[in-house]
Structure 1
């Protein structure tokens, strides 16, 4: 996987976390930068670990599906991308009633971070089939997610949920584009 594809993949993987972070920031009462950094670190670490777990699971099965690897990666990325686009289009505003908290609890952030990283785990499975070095990809995903989430929390009170929806749609379209590019690359090589 080249640097450009890694950068686009990292960006695509971080957009759903960004969307969640905008919502988290919007739910807080004037979030501080330290809270944004804390949230970014929690999401970034989780988002970096999940593709490694998926990659390890994919390696265990890679020998059985080597002939179909590009189709598997294409299918996974397309389905995940479509799910992200649909989630962005169907998102409902979840405005809480009453006072907004100063910060979110660790477990709430960890569960949200894990929920937004399921797609990164599935991408890790697909990358195992492509015999990709997972360490730089996982590091790129984690670092990009850290920056995106930190920024998202701070932007949350200004932009609200609408920007988060658009970011998730863009991320889904990027995933679909990466899946198509992988398929085209393998079909041209054959």
Structure 2
């Protein structure tokens, strides 16, 4: 179960980083509602996407069982590497002036696509997938909610560090699946 907690924290780092960015641009009057909105959108999608990945992975596990640890490692290393790369880059960020539901939907999908791929690894961890997805959703809600307030207080300097941390944790989980 400890792997699920580490996975939940690592997967929530994208949403945490985006929430920091949202909070850094927010105003004090609407901060609480923005934090709640970010938590709900990101938590919901981060909880659903791994479930989709798990169901897809569970369906094909019999065909790829011999290679499953390598596939899981490859997916987690790829996702983790991408997060590390993005955290170190000077990427062009789109300025968001109004946080509508459409904007939140787009951000929620964008930050949770990786979670779908990571959901495949739940078939190898021998855990209750629904409980794992609930833990991921709640963890992401909490990190996103906190991220908005952290962003308001600190600006954007934590964004890349959160993604870097998440990427490293995903690679370590991939190594654990592969080696143990």
Instruction: Please give the range of the TM-score, normalised by the shorter of the 2 chains.
Output: over 0.9
Q: Which residue of 1 aligns with 2:50?
A: 51
- 1:88-122 per-position Cα deviation (integer Å, ceiling 9, x unaligned): 1114474849xx55xx1111111101111111100
In the aligned structure 2, how far is the partner of 1:142 from the partner of 1:5? 15
Structure 1 gap segments, 5+ residues each: 186-190
Output aligned runs, 1:9-158, within 5 Å. Answer: 9-30=7-28, 31-92=30-91, 94=93, 96=95, 101=98, 104-158=99-153
In the aligned structure 2, how far is the partner of 1:36 from the partner of 1:130? 32
Q: Which residue of 2 aligns with 1:188?
A: none
Shift of 1:61: 1.2
In the aligned structure 2, how far is the partner of 1:4 from the partner of 1:184? 16
Cα RMSD after superposing both structures: 1.8
Which shifted more, 125-134 or 27-36? 125-134
Equivalent position SS for 1:161: coil
In the aligned structure 2, how far is the partner of 1:74 from the partner of 1:95? 32
Shift of 1:33: 1.3
Which shifted more, 4-13 or 123-132? 123-132
In the aligned structure 2, how far is the partner of 1:127 from the partner of 1:6? 8
In the aligned structure 1, how far is the partner of 2:21 from the partner of 2:73? 30
Using structure 1 for the length normalisation, give the TM-score. 0.88
User: Are the counterparts in 1 of residues 23 and 31 from structure 2 also a CA contact under 8 Å?
Assistant: no
In the aligned structure 2, how far is the partner of 1:96 from the partner of 1:115? 16
Shift of 1:80: 0.5
Structure 2 gap segments, 5+ residues each: none
Equivalent position SS for 1:175: helix
**Greater radius of gyration (CA):** 1
In the aligned structure 2, how far is the partner of 1:49 from the partner of 1:136? 12
Q: Which residue of 2 aligns with 1:164?
A: 159
User: Are the counterparts in 2 of residues 50 and 118 from structure 1 also a CA contact under 8 Å?
Assistant: yes
User: Are the counterparts in 2 of residues 93 and 161 from structure 1 also a CA contact under 8 Å?
Assistant: no
